[in-house]
């Protein structure tokens, strides 16, 4: 049963990537432009880096995460991860990952949590915008960490040490960026965790209550049914 996490109704529904500038989006109203492939430094990672997780710590993060995924979320989780990987390593956006690794190498490993979290949450935002804001939050919180691990694997392949404490800090920041994106407050999270502890029936009842409170969609007007051979019902 999916956790009944819904966005705050007082704010607009998410439809685009997290704002504030950075890897996969430009800030509203202008600001630093998203770099193009021409701005990317020479590739320092081996070909295919980041597409498969080999680092033992990152492997354990994903195994532990996937062991907790509710069966009904598994398919959505996998679809989000596949879509995220396509974005991350596509010809159109992979240069952004190269630039991020180069900036971290030129700066400090302490930039890893904020930079990686912004990319991972930004990818979820791009997927959500592509499907017109229809992503359900719960599976995203699993998928975003798997995507985060692939980003960390790539960064590590360029020679940057991704130590245990940095993985933990990056995970916390990634969750926070995604909470901010979906406008999920600490109070909403506490309610969801309480319901989860009460068991499937409590979750089911809460989900049904939320569904009952949502306004019913307006019925589309019926289309005219012209007569004639091309519109006739078989057998009539």
Residue 168 included in any domain: yes
**Within-domain flag for 10:** no
Which pLDDT does position 216 carry in this prediction?
53
Whether residue 220 is contained in a domain is answered as no
Residue 233 lies in a domain: no
Q: What pLDDT does 75 receive?
A: 96
The torsion angle over the Cα atoms of residues 179, 184, 185 and 190, rounded to 10 degrees, is -100
Range of the domain at 65: 53-200
Q: What is the pLDDT of residue 117?
A: 95
Provide the pLDDT for residue 170: 96
pLDDT tens for the chain, 236 residues: list them: 333 333 444 434 444 444 433 444 443 444 556 677 777 888 888 888 889 999 999 999 999 999 999 999 999 999 999 999 999 999 888 888 999 999 898 888 889 999 999 999 999 999 999 988 889 899 999 999 999 999 999 999 999 999 889 999 999 999 999 999 999 887 887 877 777 777 777 666 766 776 676 555 554 444 433 333 333 223 33
228 is a domain residue: no
Of 84, 73, 79, residue with least CA distance to 3: 73
Is 221 inside a domain boundary? no
In a domain, 205, yes or no: no
pLDDT value for 235 = 35
Query: Is 214 contained in some domain?
Result: no
- Tokens 């994903």 correspond to what residue? 62
Q: Count the residues in the chain.
A: 236
How many domains does the chain divide into?
A: 1
Task: Supply the pLDDT for residue 32.
Answer: 59
Q: Max CA-CA distance within the chain?
A: 75
Residue-level pLDDT at 163 = 82
Task: For residues 149 and 139, give the distance between their C-alpha atoms in angstroms, rounded to a whole number.
Answer: 16
Q: What is the pLDDT of residue 8?
A: 40
8 Å CB contact between 62 and 149: yes
**Does this model's pTM top 0.85?**
no
């Amino acid at each position: 049963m999916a956790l009944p996490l819904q966005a705050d109704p007082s704010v607009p529904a998410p439809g685009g990537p997290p704002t504030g500038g950075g890897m996969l989006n430009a800030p509203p109203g202008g600001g630093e432009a998203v770099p193009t492939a021409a701005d990317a430094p020479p590739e320092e990672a081996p070909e295919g880096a980041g597409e498969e997780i080999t680092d033992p710590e990152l492997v354990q993060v994903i195994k532990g995460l996937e062991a907790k995924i509710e069966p009904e979320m598994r398919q959505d989780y996998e679809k989000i991860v596949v879509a995220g990987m396509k974005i991350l390593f596509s010809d159109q956006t992979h240069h952004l990952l190269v630039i991020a690794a180069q900036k971290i190498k030129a700066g400090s490993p302490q930039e890893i949590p904020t930079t990686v979290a912004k990319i991972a949450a930004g990818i979820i935002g791009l997927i959500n915008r592509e499907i017109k804001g229809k992503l359900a939050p719960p599976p995203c919180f699993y998928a975003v960490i798997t995507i985060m691990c692939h980003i960390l694997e790539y960064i590590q392949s360029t020679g940057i040490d991704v130590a245990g404490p940095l993985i933990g800090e990056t995970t916390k920041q990634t969750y926070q960026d995604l909470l901010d994106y979906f406008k999920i407050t600490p109070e909403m999270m506490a309610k969801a965790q309480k319901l989860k502890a009460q068991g499937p029936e409590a979750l089911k009842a809460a989900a049904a209550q939320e569904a009952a409170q949502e306004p019913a969609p307006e019925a589309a007007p019926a289309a005219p049914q012209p007569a004639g051979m091309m519109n006739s019902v078989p057998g009539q």
